[in-house]
Structure 1
Amino acid sequence: MSSADSEAVRTMLADIIADPERGQQALPRLVGRLDSDDRTVRIGAACGLCLIASEDPGSVEYTVRRLVDRLDDDVARPESILALEYLMTQFPERVDETLQELREQRDEEPLQYTRQGGFVRSGYFQPGEPSRDDVGRVRHPGGADSGSGLVYGQADERGDERAPGWENSDENSQSEPGSDTDEEAPGGSSETARQRVKRLHERVESIVEQSRFDQLMVLTGEVPGRYAHAYPVLATHGGREQALSLRLFYQPTENRQTFQRRLAGAIEQWGRIDHEHVVSLYDSGTRPEPWVASQHVEATLRAGLPDWNVSEIVGTVARLADGLATLHQRDIVHGGIDPESVAVELETEAGQRARLDNIGLLTVYRWFVDPSTCLDPRFAAPEYFDASFGGVDQATDIYQLGAILYYLLAGEPPYDGSYADVRTRVPGETRPTPPSEAAAVPAFLDGIVSKALARQKLTRYETAVAFQQDLLDARERI
């Protein structure tokens, strides 16, 4: 893009500042400049749109509609996203009204337009008082709805719990354990247990052909997770065997190409991380569906609180903070740290084998699915509920790891109750009970927890490294 375009945008911005009432005339031209190949031009155009809206709120509807059109593209320009976030923050009612009109006109829920994956406008939670067990519920690894330990060749008796609008290769498949008949599966599915197992075998064979492994042997039935069905497998490579987890990712029924491209980018970033407290990826691919072969996850904190003393808890979170610092050094935002995204090996030395899992996946899925299906709201930072706290970034990860620390120390989440309670309390003035008042915890840990859980980002730990250092210093005092 020529320098003339940059000069034109600068001139328009100067004119808007000098005479805001003339801003309406510049709207179409500024919107068009959002498609420029010049980043400076796009930033200037986004700023101009925000300036006009500040002086003339009547322009918000037009601007939101044009921004939404651009978010429909395969690759949304970040300047368009930032402009929409600003309008959501300053004119929430006008933006919501416009988005609602678009929903009705298009007969669909534009989840890809939600502010940084926040809960408030996702439409997932409806008015009412859900029970405590339902708040942010997904699945309980190691619980009644996790893997049955069946050998390969037998079917799994669980139904499918993932959110509507999603598909994976085991759609509508249910059967009795050990079934090897051709009877129709319960629930009206025409697929039998034998057909289901055959299809899984074919998919695994296809994955082997494009993978680095010589063979993948599925050991037990699938374990439904937040983002994928996981299969414990025995992988053979160069004559060596290793127990891994094969994850087949859920996909949206619409916008699949865009989803797959963004997911592939997140997986590529995750695969570059080599840290003992981050779940490792060994291989990945996109055919016949997106998949990864990862380090085997024995259990997560979702399965229950480990029997760790205070020193072990603080040391464990310090190690997780070290892993988080490595992610941030690579400009990776996790975005979804809660008990189900912390993998643990309970039979090893206490705290030595806690790892961050599902790296960067929520930053993809939040554009295609209600974020509350992938993150427990009780562990979500204020910015998930209120756009005025900013977007989801590294400071969000620090808050959520602080919530994990609180959970391990106090034995309960920092916030609990119905979703309506959580939504009000997290961004509100109410602070969680200090851990030392909820459990036998040294009072000097309260300050560390409070700083990590600060409502405003500027008062949280500036970096994961600083958080880790305070934890290490505290452990010396315990």
Structure 2
Amino acid sequence: MDGSGTEQRAAETVLNAAITEPETFDSKELNRILHLFESTDKTVRLSASWALGLVVSANPEAVTGSVRALASLLESEPESVHEDIIRALGYIAAEYPELVRDAIEDLDLRDDVHNKQLIASIRDRELSGSVTTLTGEASEYQGLGTAAEDDETVEEPPDREERGRPPTEPPPTPPPVEARREAFDPIKSRGSGSHVDLWLVRYSDRERTHSALLTQIQHRAPAEFDTEFTETLNEWQSVDDHDAIVPVVAHGTIPKPWFVVEYQEGQRLSDRLGSLSDREARWIIDRIVDAVCHAHGSGVIHGGLTPRNVIFSRTYDGNVWPYPKISNWGISQLLCQLSALPMGVPPMYAAPEQVKPDQFGGVDASTDIYHLGLIVYELLTGRLPFDGQPGVVLQKVVEEQPPPASQFTDELSDGVDTVLAKCFRKSKLYRYNTVQDFRTELRQALSGGAI
């Protein structure tokens, strides 16, 4: 099946129908989707993956037949198309794990080598663990395949500290595009936040189709807001060449202010706190601090850095850590203009200047250093410096010094306490002058050196 303009238009028609009326697909139309996996055009196969996931989600009776058909395609099609077939299986498995498991177990695994390869491929892609669906929502999917026999010795999985390792290189990122809002096709609403609507969208460049996340301001803003919005996005885009910064794909102000960023399929750092090994936590710290150094070197500050703004790319290798990327550069401060809540961050992540700007000054690069200190503290100890009701926390932020991090873990040196204490100074004059200075002393302290 040769990729062509006609083929791409057919795939687009099928995908649009799957988005709007997935429940109307019959067996003939399902076969049309499956036939698209034979294409040599990557864009066509991606559309087929999305369409099949949407249709089967609305028609659970089609699960068994679809899984069997995908298994057959893995047998007959070249390896170059296997990734998209596995992706489709992932979408189905995330929605109907038990039905997929039953369909797999119904296959004759003992005699069919290709079905064994199917199981291996799914395991390699981590579909037997936490599966990310088309909408990016994680769901638990317990192991595919048959259970171990009672008389077999099942080895315990290795410790996270031994098993995990950082990626050898960061994941590839899509190129920015000059496009209007209409160029991004909505796939699914991701809900609404404070003054914004979120959509999972897709767009195409000359090589392939990409998933992305579109954020749009809910209400028409004044002209001066549009100007500041554009400046903020331009600043973010000027530093997104760092591998730990989420890249901006496009942005605009018509019909309302909007921006599109690379879609990260993994969890937020806030979702992973408490489950990280010490070695992975320290690697994450190094990457996000380095990203802030890169941005500050160009005069760009974040202003609202919290674990919810650190998002992970997905990895298909269970032994490789997902890559952290910082998103929403300058956005929290921008949205403060539309809100009656001026801080832009939750109380437990507020810096003194965000609580009492008249006393401690405005948000600037030193605020990012304070926020980095909070994230480092939480990653190393599993808790934040201050807890309690929001009003109590805010009072502590402006009046009290946080307890030393070493109070909550025996694995930290006094040097780490010294570094973090300097981050948390109430007066910005007594914090680190630059985030580069903070990085230097933090690395030294984490390696056991004296400060």
Task: Report the TM-score when normalising by structure 2.
Answer: 0.55
Alignment match of 1:319 (pick from 287, 294, 302) = 287
1:276 aligned to which of 240, 243, 248: 243
Q: Which residue of 2 aligns with 1:402?
A: 373
Aligned 8 A contact 1:214 1:236 in 2: no
Distance, in Å, in 1 between the alignment partners of 2:431 and 2:288 is 17
Q: Deviations over 1:103-132 (max 9, x none)?
A: xxxxxxxxxxxxxxxxxxxxxxxxxxxxxx
State whether structure 2 residue 236 is matched by structure 1 residue 265. Answer: no
Distance 1:300 1:394, change over 3 A: same
Cα separation, 2, equivalents of 1:235 and 1:278 = 20
Match of 2:359 in 1: 388
SS of the equivalent of 1:278 reads coil
Q: Secondary structure at the match of 2:338?
A: coil
Residue aligning to 2:20: 153
Q: Does 1:219 align with 2:187?
A: yes
* Ranges in structure 1 where 5+ consecutive residues have no aligned partner: 1-150, 156-176, 179-208
Deviations along 1:351-391, whole A, 9 cap, x unmatched?
66212211011332223313467311111111112222222
Residue-by-residue CA offset, 1:175-199 (whole Å, 9 max, x unaligned)? xx97xxxxxxxxxxxxxxxxxxxxx
Partner amino acid, structure 2, of 1:323: A
Aligned mates of 1:227, 1:303 — CA distance in 2: 23
Instruction: Sort the Cα spacing of 1:439 and 1:223 in 2 relative to 1 into closer, same or farther, 3 A.
Output: farther
**Matched letter for residue 261 of structure 1:** T
Deviation at residue 300 of structure 1 after TM alignment: 1.6
Instruction: Answer yes or no: is the 8 Å Cα contact 2:402–2:424 preserved in 1.
Output: no
- Alpha-carbon separation, structure 2, partners of 1:300 and 1:343: 4
Q: Verify the 8 A CA contact 2:197 2:216 in the aligned structure 1.
A: yes
Distance in 1 (alpha carbons) for counterparts of 2:202 and 2:369: 35
Shift of 1:290: 1.7
Q: Name the CA distance, whole Å, in 1 between partners of 2:235 and 2:191.
A: 24
List aligned pairs for 1:24-423, cutoff 5 A.
152-153=19-20, 211=179, 216-226=184-194, 228-251=196-219, 256-273=222-239, 274-297=241-264, 298-305=266-273, 307-345=275-313, 347=315, 353-371=323-341, 374-386=344-356, 387-423=358-394
Q: C-alpha separation between the residues in 2 aligned to 1:457 and 1:308?
A: 31
| Displacement after TM superposition at 1:469 (Å) | 1.7
Q: Structure 1, residues 284-339: CA drift from partner, whole Å, max 9, x if none?
A: 12222222221113332233416322232233222211111222222222111112
Identity percentage of aligned residues: 24
Looking at structure 2, the residues matched to 370 and 423 of structure 1 have their Cα atoms a distance apart, in angstroms, of: 17
Change in CA separation of 1:446 and 1:226 when aligned onto 2, cut-off 3 Å: farther
Distance (Å, rounded) in 2 between the aligned partners of 1:312 and 1:474: 17
Question: How many angstroms does 1:154 deviate by?
Answer: 7.6
Give the secondary-structure state (helix, strand or coil) at the position aligned to 1:283: strand
Q: Distance in 1 between matches of 2:425 and 2:248?
A: 33
Give the drift of 1:212. 7.4
Please say if residues 283 and 292 of structure 1, whose CA atoms lie closer than 8 Å, have aligned partners that are also in contact.
Answer: yes
SS in 2 for 1:284: strand
CA contact (8 A) 1:315 1:351 kept: no
1:438-457 alignment, distance < 5 Å: 438-444=408-414, 445-457=416-428
CA 1:424 to 1:330, structure 2 compared with 1: closer, same or farther past 3 Å? same
Whole-angstrom distance in 1 between the partners of 2:339 and 2:440: 36
AA of the residue aligned to 1:474 = A
AA in 2 matched with 1:152? I
Question: Which residue type is aligned with residue 290 of structure 1?
Answer: P
Cα offset, 1:263, TM superposition: 0.9
Report the CA distance shift for 1:346/1:226 in structure 2 as closer, same or farther (over 3 A).
Answer: farther
**How many Å separate the matches in 1 of 2:182 and 2:225?**
29
Tell me, what secondary structure is at the counterpart of 1:432? coil
Contact conserved, 2:343 with 2:354, CA < 8 A, in 1?
Answer: no
- Answer yes or no: is the 8 Å Cα contact 1:213–1:235 preserved in 2: no
Give yes or no for contact 1:227–1:374 (8 Å, CA) kept in 2. Answer: no
**Letter matched to residue 258 of structure 1:** E
Moved more, 225-234 or 378-387: 225-234
Q: Secondary structure at 2:398's aligned position in 1?
A: coil
Return the alpha-carbon distance in structure 2 between the equivalents of residues 393 and 213 of structure 1.
Answer: 31
Q: Using the alignment, how far apart are the partners of 1:234 and 1:396 within structure 2?
A: 35
Q: Answer 1 or 2: higher relative contact order, Cα 8 Å, separation at least 6.
A: 1
Task: Report the residue type matching 2:297 in the other structure.
Answer: Q
Cα drift, residue 417 of structure 1: 1.2
Inter-partner Cα distance in structure 2 for 1:243 and 1:271: 18
Partner SS state of residue 244, structure 2: coil
Deviation of 1:412 (Å): 2.0
**Secondary structure, in 3 states, of the residue corresponding to 2:337?**
coil
C-alpha distance in 1 between matches for 2:217 and 2:425? 34
- The residue identity in structure 2 corresponding to 1:410 is T
- Cα contact 1:379–1:414 (8 A) shared by 2: no
Q: Secondary structure of the residue that 1:337 maps to in structure 2?
A: coil
How many pairs were matched up? 276
Contact 1:214 1:238 in 2 (8 A): no
Give the Å deviation of 1:247: 1.8
Q: Contact conserved, 1:226 with 1:374, CA < 8 A, in 2?
A: no
Tell me, yes or no, if the aligned pair for 2:314 and 2:322 is still in contact at 8 Å. Answer: no
Tell me the residue number matched to 1:459: 430
Output the TM-score relative to the length of structure 1: 0.52
CA distance in 2, matches of 1:306, 1:236: 38
Relative to 1, partners in 2 of residues 1:308 and 1:373: Cα closer, same or farther, differing over 3 Å?
Answer: same
The Cα offsets for residues 402-435 of structure 1, whole Å up to 9 and x where unpaired, read as 111112122222222112201211010x222222
Give the partner amino acid of 1:268: N
